[in-house]
Amino acid sequence: MRAPQESKLPITQDDCLALDAADPLSALRAQFALPEGVTYLDGNSLGARPKAAPERARAVLEAEWGDGLIRSWNTAGWYDLPVRLGDKLAPLIGAGPGEVVVTDSTSVNLFKALAAAIKLQADSPENGHRRTIVTERDSFPSDIYMAEAMIAWLDRGYRLRLLDSWDQLPDALNDDGGVAVVLLTHVNYRTGRMFDMGAVTAQVHAAGALMIWDLAHSAGAVEVGLTAAGADFAVGCTYKYLNGGPGSPAFIWVPQRHQGAFSQPLAGWWAHRQPFAMQPAFAPAAGIRRALCGTQPIVSLALVEVGLDIFAQAPLAGLRRKSLALTDLFIALVEQRCAGHGLTLVTPRPHAQRGSHVSFSHPHGYAVMQALIARGVIGDYREPQVMRFGFTPLYTAYADVWNAVHTLAAILDRGDYQIDAARGAVT
């Protein structure tokens, strides 16, 4: 059968079932606990629970903590866990061993990366004068807040330049001549638009600035090549596509070439060369451990491994192919079945510019999403008017796409979202 998006014929439910039957990745779904009657399209915000997670948590609580007690820092490998998990995650983002740690939150890691990048520039004879940090106005707000807070805290004349659209980047880099750091989210959380990491990094470097990537909506969803792109630093989440569990620790990437000069302001004892020497003077650890701060949340960290282990069974190239097939199918079906209902595609159509979620705007987007959720189709809503649908290739079926669009079309055809709203179901 031809892929539905290439066909002019209406896509049928049978087409979707046939795609599932032929999908080499379909068996992976069985490794996730997905409730009956739910079509889950929000794995870009909180990944589904791997079935193996409770058993892993139990082992940490009972054997490692209960029986092992403090000995488990060594005997159960707790102390090395942030680095060991970082090495497991590294291939998913095109990083090398000893370059990633899983620790703290994305916001906190961003603060460290930004501080390190600013200091690298400030210490360089030719770049010391640079005082501008560039990011997008459409960035995830926490990223902007952290950059603003860093600038206010430094109080040394740094300023934030917010791009209104990404094609303003060349101007920002040229105009100013003083850009120290560019911080961009690889896949935009709202629109699903993806940057060309290699091209943008090269452009930023050509202007003498450093490049930080936020991979919150990329890691585990799209192929990422940090080393190939020659990027400077990166951070990202593990509770989205990596299925580490609510609030699971994030990651930070510091390439080997920057590790010697990497200096961050949250240098707690876990970043020390000899934490147990209990020296009053700080001396940073030689490698990636210097990106750590203090004692790590071992139960949460342990669950990150359960999510990462599933990726060992599925090459990312295959996952990306399926993700694109799912998002293509979703766009085509929505356009076939929901035409004339005021939906506008927000996500770019070209594959090279698309992550693993699709956003449509609708004047009543919030109410429509509430109506979908009330009928078991879980996506989410982001201001203004944007309905987001995430397609996690590990566990989303083509039949889920059919169900979601079938339900959406029924809601729009019948105006159910207005009826729900009038009944007070929308709060």
Ligand X SMILES: *Cc1c(COP(=O)(O)O)cnc(C)c1O
The footprint of ligand X (CB under 6 A) covers: 105-107, 140, 142-143, 185, 189, 214, 216-217, 237, 250
Catalytic residue list contains 214: yes
CA distances from 137 to 134, 174, 183 (A): 10, 19, 11
Residue 388 annotated among the catalytic residues of the structure? yes
| Nearest approach, Cβ of residue 289 and ligand X (Å) | 21
CB of 193 to ligand X, least distance (A): 12
Of 217 and 375, nearer to ligand X (C-beta) is 217
Q: What is the 3-state secondary structure (H, E, C) of 258-314?
A: HHCCCCCCCCCHHHECCHHHCCCCCCECCCHHHHCCCCCCHHHHHHHHHHHHHHCCC
Q: Is 140 a catalytic residue?
A: yes
The one catalytic residue among 131, 193, 240, 354: 240
End-to-end CA distance of the chain: 44
Instruction: Kindly state the smallest distance separating residue 107's Cβ from ligand X, in Å.
Output: 3
- With CA atoms as reference, report the closest residue to 285 among 277, 110, 234: 277
- Measured from the CB atom, the residue of 334 and 387 that comes closer to ligand X is 387
Residue among 32, 40, 111, 140 flagged as catalytic: 140
Active-site position among 239, 251, 360, 395: 239
Q: Between 244 and 365, whose beta carbon lies closer to ligand X? A: 244
CB of 346 vs ligand X, minimal distance in Å: 16
Nearest-angstrom CA–CA distance, 265 and 119: 10
- What gap in Å lies between CA 56 and CA 181, rounded to an integer? 40
Is there a catalytic annotation at residue 416? Answer: no
> CB under 8 Å to 156, separation ≥6 — which residues?
131
Distance from C-alpha of 381 to C-alpha of 41, rounded to nearest angstrom: 12
Alpha-carbon distances of 17 from 10, 136, 356, 408, rounded to whole Å:
15, 40, 21, 19
Rounded to the nearest whole angstrom, what is the least distance from the CB of residue 387 to ligand X in the complex?
Answer: 17
Region of residue 208 (phi > 0: left; psi between -120 and 50: alpha; otherwise: beta): left
Clarify whether 239 is annotated catalytic.
Answer: yes
Cβ atoms within 10 Å of 167's Cβ, excluding its own: 8
The smaller minimum CB distance to ligand X, of residues 42 and 214, is found at 214
The packing angle between helices 298-311 and 81-89, to 10°, is 20
Nearer to ligand X, 149 or 419 (CB): 149
Quick one: 39 or 109, whose CB is closer to ligand X? 109
Query: Closest distance between ligand X and the C-beta of residue 141, in Å?
Result: 9
Q: Which is nearer to ligand X, 162 or 410 (CB)?
A: 162
Cα angle 85, 88, 89 (rounded to 5 degrees) comes to 90
Give the strand order in the sheet containing 159-163: 100-102, 251-253, 233-236, 210-214, 179-185, 132-136, 159-163
Measuring CA to CA, how many Å separate 221 from each of 52, 216, 242? 21, 10, 8
| Least distance between ligand X and beta carbon 34 (Å) | 21
Select which of 42, 388, 395, 416 is catalytic: 388
Which residue, 140 or 389, has its beta carbon nearer to ligand X? 140
Shortest approach of ligand X to residue 421 CB, angstroms?
28
Residue-wise over 22-61: b if at least 16 C-beta within 10 A, else e?
Answer: ebebbebbebbebeeeebbbbbbbbbbbbebbeebbeebe
Please count the CA atoms within 13 angstroms of the CA of 263 that sit on its side-chain side: 9
Active site residues: 140, 214, 239-240, 388
